[in-house]
Amino acid sequence: MLGTFQQSSLRIEIPASEAALRESLTQPTKLQRWLAPARIDSGLPELLKTGLTYTSWVGPVSIQHYVERLEENCLRLLLSGGIDGYHEWSWGEGWVQSRLEGVSLLPLNLSQTLSLLRLKQFLATNQAEEGR
């Protein structure tokens, strides 16, 4: 794998319930909505599950995701292709943490920051729509 070893851990407050965070991180239809412009495989099950493998694309770069662990408040993905490493998500009431480590040519910290901001915006928009 070409690239540099990179690691990043970010934790942000998000005014959302633990259940809303879990759904946004483990339901492929919701993942696709907030991960844009990145794309994920179509035809995935309603919910991610341990042992599932899927592909995402950031422009022309494909990244394989293997769901190594999925628990009530934690999701760990092993990554290969455009990133060789792992991405671990933890969440609770009003917060989410993302830990990303791997070898890649992609700027992982920037991508991770933008993803968390898109997740925060997605959840805020959903709450506003539900409040109508």
Give the domain range for residue 112.
Answer: 4-130
Distance (Å, rounded) from C-alpha 6 to C-alpha 22?
26
| Interval 56-95: pLDDT, tens | 998 899 999 999 999 999 999 999 999 999 999 999 999 9
Angle between helices 18-26 and 108-130 (to 10 degrees): 120
For Cα atoms 57, 96, 52, give the angle at the middle one, nearest 5 degrees: 45
Question: What three-state secondary structure class fits 77?
Answer: strand
Q: What is the pTM of this model?
A: 0.92
Angle between helices 18-26 and 28-35 (to 10 degrees): 90
Asked whether residue 21 carries a pLDDT value surpassing 70, the answer given is yes
Give the position of tokens 């599932």: 52
CATH number at residue 44: 3.30.530.20
Minimal CA–CA distance to 42: which of 25, 52, 56?
56
Mean pLDDT across the chain: 93
Residue 1 pLDDT: 65
Going by their DSSP bridges, the two strands 4-13 and 39-40 should be labelled as: unpaired
Q: Specify the number of domains making up the chain.
A: 1
Backbone angles phi and psi of 70, in degrees to 5:
-140, 115
Give the position of tokens 């934690």: 74
